[in-house]
Amino acid sequence: MSRFDFTHPPFTHLSPHERQALEGAADIVFLDNDEVIMAPGDSVDSLYVLIKGVVREMADDEVLAVYHAQDTFDARAMVAGVATQRFVVHEEALAYCLPRAMVMQLTESNPRFGAFFYASVAQKFGALAQNAGTRELQTLLTATVRDACSRLPVFADGQDSVLDAARIMKQRKSKSILVRYLGQLGMFTTTDFRDTILNELPASTPLHQVCHFNLITTDIDGFLFDALLTMTQRNIRRLVVMDQGEPVGILAQVDILSYFSNHSHLIAHKLERADTLDELQDIAGQITRLVGILSSHGVKAPQLGRLVQALNARLFERTWQLIALPEVVANSCLIVMGSEGRGEQILKTDQDNALIIRDGFDHPTLPGACQAFSDALARFGYPPCPGRIMVSNPQWCQHEQGMRDQLYRWLYLPDGDALMNLAIFVDAEAVAGDHTLLAHSKHYLNSLLSDDESFYARFARAIEQFDTPLGFFAQLLTREQNGEATLDIKKGGIFPIVHGIRSLALRHNIAANNTFERLQRLAENGHLEREFANDINETLAFLLGLRLSHGLADLEDGRPASNLIRPDRLSTLEKDLLKDALALVKKFKNLLRHQFRLGAVA
């Protein structure tokens, strides 16, 4: 049995031969309390991997990082050949001492191993994600439709009767058949058969009169996750599987659920059937559990965000339908904003929603319905917004003209939180009611925007609101919270990227809400260099993933999910990547200062 633990990055990427060579060259050293392992300016000829004990990385008297068992230090110093920080033993330790020459040789011969020492930010984060994805042989990200689709299609002709279809379905034990008619492809299901009977149509009715021809398809080599997302968004149970333009199978939602051991708990369909707020409260809890399951299986934060957005939209829509009268629903538009509108809120942090009411419509039950909606979401685990950006606040429950007046004031007469309110509204997404009411408001906002560079500079300046928690010599800057050193990853890392990309998207009239989509459009249109856009993309994905993992840990400990992370709980790799991520945030902020002429800011 190997004495060296190869289950931690970057050693997971070594071949059996490379592992044997590295283990043969490794020494085990004892490190006494307060021993200085390396100091600034020292020549570095080894990479250390702790077996037990605690080592501190110091800058003068400040603790920059704490290393525990399985942590590696100091890769940066090993590559440079000289130390920039002081490493001191805090609790007597045992460590593997890996010769620099051997490690450097492996970085040259094994690109995946070397990526952790030399690669670009995007490559490093990609390698980390790839490692996370190996927790199971197949995950929602790697599995394809081909892996789960085993139902061969059953065909009928459009001239066949409903009775013929019933016989075929019974014989083939199928709940759906594909119908060919005049070059079109349709589908007839048991639900259609039920509707045929309820509508008292004769059994001789031709199938082409009762089947559905507007089919939604998926490619056999497409990702299963995308198929699940399509079903959730479209509220359908089946997709036609295509291979090079030909139908080769039927993918039912139950197939996906079975393949992933019922990970989704049939959430989407439970939402459609829910008739009480008690049922919706239970479903809201299932969404959180689903996030934990999928995250543990290697699904990345951006994909999780879009799935949760789709489920939350259905949850909020159903809640509003149960609370508000039908005429209120029909004459209003319920919107979500901020991270929920962008599809980037994975765990329940706070509510960001509003209501736009059709001009000329009023109803005495409106205020009560809005308050009941905010109360219901709080009951479901979505905390009230500290800034009261909720439908229960009259400022965020406006008729069309009132919303237009508000947008005008935020734009031309900004005071207090006006520009941040505007930023939140820019991310708005309709979830219930008449979606055109939001479209009209956004169209009005776009008509107000011009080439006024001073406005875009004022709008973008919010990136300066929070300092990036990365000091000299790439040390992480923390603050004590409840006796622990913490770092606010949203303020320090996520917000500057999100708002910076939002500012660029607004300036260049890019309609997408999601930050990753905005980023892609900016790169495609030449407003951001492609490689730099890739680095930003991977950096944001990493930061969102880090916030998610710490938020899930908070929930497991009985605490509400927050934006605070504890760097001392990160692995060496994660700490290195966090430093890389925050360094890129600084670089992006400098680019924004230049583009929006924000002035020189240290």
> How confident is the model over 491-518, as a mean pLDDT?
95
**Displacement of CA 504 from its chain's centroid (Å):** 21
What's 586's DSSP letter?
Answer: H
Query: Where does the pLDDT of residue 381 fall: very low under 50, low under 70, confident under 90, or very high at 90 and above?
Result: very high
Q: What radius of gyration, in Å, describes the C-alpha atoms of the chain?
A: 28
Query: Where does the pLDDT of residue 191 fall: very low under 50, low under 70, confident under 90, or very high at 90 and above?
Result: confident
Residues 6+ apart with CB under 8 A from 24: none
Does the pLDDT of residue 403 top 70, yes or no?
Answer: yes
| Long-range contacts from 551-558, C-beta under 8 angstroms, 24+ separation | 551/346, 551/347, 552/291, 552/292, 552/295, 552/347, 555/288, 555/292, 555/347
CA–CA gap between residue 502 and residue 338 (Å, rounded): 11
> How confident is the model over 536-549, as a mean pLDDT?
94
Does the pLDDT of residue 124 top 60, yes or no?
Answer: no
Which residue ranges make up each domain of the chain? 11-118, 145-259, 307-448, 461-468+483-595
3-state class (DSSP) for residue 208: helix
Q: Pick the residue with more confidence: 191 or 585?
A: 585
Name the fold adopted by 11-118: Jelly Rolls (2.60.120)
> How confident is the model over 415-440, as a mean pLDDT?
94
pLDDT at position 164 is: 93
Does the pLDDT of residue 261 top 60, yes or no?
Answer: no
For strand 397-399 and strand 353-357, is the pairing parallel, antiparallel, or unpaired? parallel
pLDDT at position 57 is: 84
Closest CA to 381 of 474, 285, 296, 295: 285
pLDDT at position 352 is: 93
What's 476's DSSP letter?
Answer: B
Cis peptide before 394 (omega within 30 of 0): no
254-272 per-residue burial string, b: 16 or more CB within 10 A, e: under 16 = ebbbebbeebbeebbbbbe
- Of these ranges, 76-80, 266-270, 336-340, the one predicted with the greatest mean pLDDT is 336-340
CA–CA gap between residue 561 and residue 547 (Å, rounded): 9
> pLDDT tens-digit profile of 359-380?
999 999 999 999 999 999 999 9
Q: Is the pTM of this model over 0.85?
A: no
> pLDDT tens-digit profile of 34-85?
999 999 999 999 999 998 898 988 877 766 677 888 888 888 788 788 888 8
Percent of the chain with pLDDT over 70: 90
Query: Where does the pLDDT of residue 256 fall: very low under 50, low under 70, confident under 90, or very high at 90 and above?
Result: confident
Does the pLDDT of residue 95 top 80, yes or no?
Answer: yes
pLDDT at position 35 is: 94
Does the pLDDT of residue 226 top 70, yes or no?
Answer: yes
Query: For the chain, what is the mean pLDDT?
Result: 86
pLDDT at position 166 is: 92
CA torsion angle 268 270 272 277 (round to 10): -120
Does the pLDDT of residue 497 top 70, yes or no?
Answer: yes
Neighbours of 558 (CB within 10 A): 6
CA distances from 58 to 72, 162, 473, 474, 484 (A): 15, 78, 11, 12, 17
What's 473's DSSP letter?
Answer: G
Instruction: Reply yes or no on domain 145-259 having CATH 3.30.1600.10.
Output: no
pLDDT at position 265 is: 45
Token digits of residue 118: 């030399």
What's 567's DSSP letter?
Answer: G
Does the pLDDT of residue 107 top 50, yes or no?
Answer: yes
**Diameter of the chain measured on Cα atoms:** 90
CB 218 within 8 A of CB 149: no
pLDDT at position 59 is: 75
> How confident is the model over 156-183, as a mean pLDDT?
92
CA–CA gap between residue 164 and residue 176 (Å, rounded): 13
Among the ranges given (144-153, 439-448, 465-474), the one the predictor scored with the smallest mean pLDDT: 144-153
CA torsion angle 536 539 540 541 (round to 10): 120
pLDDT at position 394 is: 95
CA–CA gap between residue 239 and residue 214 (Å, rounded): 11
Question: Identical fold at 307-448 and 461-468+483-595?
Answer: no
CA–CA gap between residue 153 and residue 175 (Å, rounded): 11
Does the pLDDT of residue 119 top 70, yes or no?
Answer: no
CB 186 within 8 A of CB 158: yes
Instruction: Reply yes or no on domain 461-468+483-595 having CATH 1.20.120.330.
Output: yes
What's 352's DSSP letter?
Answer: -
Provide the angle, in degrees to the nearest 10, between the axes of the packed helices 121-132 and 111-118: 130
> pLDDT tens-digit profile of 276-325?
998 899 889 888 888 887 777 677 888 889 889 989 999 999 999 999 99
List the CATH code of the domain at 307-448. 3.30.460.10
Token digits of residue 393: 């606040």
CA–CA gap between residue 578 and residue 494 (Å, rounded): 12
Query: Where does the pLDDT of residue 575 fall: very low under 50, low under 70, confident under 90, or very high at 90 and above?
Result: confident
CB 485 within 8 A of CB 478: yes
pLDDT at position 20 is: 86
What's 189's DSSP letter?
Answer: E
Percent of the chain with pLDDT over 90: 51
> pLDDT tens-digit profile of 556-572?
888 888 899 998 888 77
